[in-house]
Structure 1
Amino acid sequence: LLNCAKQLDVQTCEIICGLNPDAAVGSPAAATAVRVRGCLAGLSTDTYLALVGQGITKAIVRLDACADCPWGSLQTQVEAQVQQAQELLASWGRAETITCQHKAADSYRKRPLFNASSPPVSRRELFRWREAEEKPTTEPDRVVNPHPFQKRLRFLQGVRQLALLAAMEADASLSGWNFALADVNDECTACGVCARTCPTGALQLETAVSTYKLTFSPQICIACDICAHVCAPQAITLTHDPTFAQVFDAATEQIVQAGSLQTCSKCHARFAAHSETQLCPICTFRRQNPFGSAMPPGFAASQANLPQTGRKSS
């Protein structure tokens, strides 16, 4: 959809599902229409945001065929995606850029219609394609896998493009957009487990000979909470409703914890020097509990709520 809209180079368009029987006609307010394969529920909110970032000033999401569609129950999902996009676009004063059309109008007329999978090709691009076909190559075709966080990258690209068009309200909330802020207290042991398990690399642990630094990049955090779950000392606190300024106007990489490192006198592992002990947290626990083991945080409480079962007496 985004590639097709970019190739069309228009400011107004309709977005139509693949099952709409009246796709050939549409609103006079739209210069053209783009038909996607399948249901519009397959489009995510970040797609609408990126569409506006490309320069679209009016996008009409056609829902006039949902009532008679076998996938009609997904209409509410499409409406929710559009509403979420409108709420964020309102911070730029562009809430009305994306709208829904629920009923067909008598003013519908014919206008150009393109399939998103087959965008128009200019003559210049056609010649470039022909030239590339004639150029000999010995390299095998590479299989390009989609990026695992393609939606987040599309969202970030849309925000950057919109920021060039207009200023956004700094206190606009990003609640519901899977952003979070991380705060790390002095209980951090610099073990690096949070950084190793972070799926996007938002947390990074940098170590030198005797110092460490834990950094956090809020723009690429997806609020999965994995870091907080794996942190044994429970040093990480996440805030899931940051403002736009806290994520995009702040430093791209923030230092959330830093300090000195010391070497464990027993296992020689390096850990954060927050106390006078000469043992790392693991060796300290083993010395205090030579025959014991530690349960995950909250495990005992969850087990207490389980029904007690036992062997029936005969």
Structure 2
Amino acid sequence: MAIAYPEFRNARCTRFRYRYSECQRCLDACPHEAIALADDGARIDETRCRNCGLCIAACHTGAWASESFKPIDLLRQAIKQPAFSVACAPSGLAADAIAPCLGALGAAFIAYLGKRRIPLTLLGSSHCSQCEHGAKGAAALASHLDAAERLREAAQEADKDWIQPQLTDAAPIRSPEKPTMGRRQLFRRLIGRGVEAVAAAPAPAQQVVPEKAIRAGAYASTEERELLQIVCARKDGQPTSLAWHEALPLMQLFLKSGCTNCEACFRACPTGALQIVENPGEWALAFQTDRCVACEVCLEVCQPRVLDAQARFDARPEQPARVLHSLVKQRCARCERFFVSPQPREKCPICEDDEDAFAQIFG
């Protein structure tokens, strides 16, 4: 199956939005060492790339895309048929549609067909041990099947007839009991937020993210996130209680004490899930669940390390924005501009900086 090399859209990449981001989902997913990372995004080596599409499925923000492989087009084809089958290209098997690798089919694709009660057959998984995409393709498929099952369990009270996908040419892939954490998540769990001693320690001094570390870009959602809006909806109005899963672009944020209102998380967010809401008397940091794709760049850019993700949350769509933090505006006694600060201050930071600079120069 000949498809174009994946296209990289840097404005959607968390490494472009925040130059110190450690995100490497695409690199970890690539079985051919064809991706190189930099502080402004990623690049693909066309001499190594084998068009498996695993980088496309791994990226939560949609930074990777291909004109020749679009899962949304497969869905448009599938919903017109009573049953649908997808085979991986290396297997050479015949099916209604051919994918470069079964691991390139995201959990939202699988779950959407299950909720629509369209039987899905996946062919070619028995070929994984001989395939050039190898273990990483099989691992991605296992993770997506596990995530789709979590979505089914979350909605089973309302959708009891959810149809699970079938693997007909291989032994069933065993889903892990827990989603496997990447090195980034494991480090953060152990060092950043998971140790009680760290959580109980005094809030660290305010640190400032350099202006050039965060790059501006247009907000963009993804097709997979839009599909999950449909998948997570429930007719009975009850919560869709879902545990965090690495394969799902879903996350719910909360804020611990110690926020310095630096707005770095808002500026780095590539989807507009974090918003600054202001009126004449108040400043607020709000979170829109429906727009979040769980890229985690906000957790990385937060210098006080007070922004965190819930282990389990309500994934229903169309929830109102949640205010994470709000402050009453203060008025500077010198310039009379309004500003916000965690503590009461007589002068705004700009005026204080001016006075400090004047004192250093002239004594």
TM-score by length of 2: 0.53
Letter of the structure 2 residue corresponding to residue 44 of structure 1: G
Which stretches in structure 2 are left out of the alignment for 5+ residues?
1-70, 172-219
Q: Contact 1:189/1:272 (CA < 8 Å) preserved in 2?
A: no
Change (3 A) 1:267 1:235: farther
**Deviations 1:180-226, CA, capped at 9 Å, x for gaps:** 33334565454534322221111111222232232211232233343
Counterpart check, 1:150 vs 2:223: yes
Partner deviation per Cα, 1:113-165 (whole Å, 9 max, x = no partner):
xxxxxxxxxxxxxxxxxxxxxxxxxxxxxxxxxx66333223223333xx34x
Give the counterpart of 1:69 among 111, 131, 147.
Answer: 131
- Counterpart of 1:39 in structure 2 is 101
2:283 matches 1:222? no
Match of 1:275 in 2: 343
Offset at 1:15? Answer: 1.6
Which of residues 306, 309, 312 in structure 2 aligns to 1:239? Answer: 309
Residue aligning to 1:174: 244
Checking the alignment, whether the CA contact within 8 Å between 2:72 and 2:223 is kept in structure 1 is: no
Q: Do the aligned partners of residues 267 and 197 (structure 1) sit closer, same or farther apart at CA in structure 2, a change above 3 Å counting?
A: farther
* Alignment of structure 1 residues 23-38 onto 2, 5 Å: 23=94, 33-38=95-100
Match of 2:325 among 257, 263, 273: 257
CA contact (8 A) 2:253 2:310 kept: no
Corresponding letter in the other structure for 1:48? I
Residue 19 in 1 paired to residue 87 in 2?
A: no
Structure with larger Rg: 1
Q: Share of identical aligned residues, percent?
A: 18
Matches within 5 A, 1:1-314: 1-7=71-77, 9-23=80-94, 33-53=95-115, 55-62=116-123, 63-73=125-135, 74-93=137-156, 97-103=164-170, 149-160=222-233, 163-164=234-235, 170-176=240-246, 177-184=248-255, 187-188=258-259, 190-231=261-302, 234=304, 236-243=306-313, 245=314, 247-248=315-316, 251-266=319-334, 270-272=338-340, 274-281=342-349
Q: 1:229 to 1:42 in 2, by over 3 A?
A: closer
How many angstroms apart in 1 are the aligned matches of 2:320 and 2:278?
20
Cα displacement (A) at 1:278: 1.0
SS in 2 for 1:19: helix
Q: CA deviation at 1:241?
A: 1.8
Verify the 8 A CA contact 1:58 1:97 in the aligned structure 2.
yes
The 8 Å contact of residues 186 and 274 in structure 1, kept in 2 or not, is answered as: no
Equivalent-residue separation in structure 2 for 1:57 and 1:37 (angstroms): 18
**Inter-partner Cα distance in structure 1 for 2:308 and 2:337:** 28
User: Secondary structure of 2:312's match?
Assistant: coil
Matches of 1:285 and 1:184 in 2, distance apart?
28
* Coordinate RMSD, CA, aligned: 3.6
Post-superposition offset of 1:287? 6.7
Q: Name the CA distance, whole Å, in 1 between partners of 2:340 and 2:305.
A: 13
Decide whether the 8 Å contact of 1:60 with 1:100 is kept in 2: yes
Q: Distance in 1 between matches of 2:299 and 2:354?
A: 23
Distance (whole Å) between structure 1 residues aligned to residue 260 and residue 335 of structure 2: 15
Q: Which amino acid aligns with 2:231?
A: G
* Partner secondary structure for residue 36 of structure 1: strand
How far the C-alpha of 1:179 sits from its partner, in A, is: 3.2
Gaps of 5+ in 1: 24-32, 105-146, 292-314
**Distance in 2 of aligned mates of 1:210 and 1:168:** 36
1:236 to 1:279, Cα distance in 2 relative to 1, 3 A: farther
Give me the whole-angstrom Cα distance separating, in 2, the residues matched to 1:4 and 1:180.
26
Per the TM alignment, residue 47 of structure 1 is displaced from its structure 2 partner at its CA by 1.5
Whole-Å Cα distance in 2 between the matches of residues 16 and 151 of structure 1? 20
Label 1:259 to 1:11 Cα distance change in 2 as closer, same or farther (>3 A): same
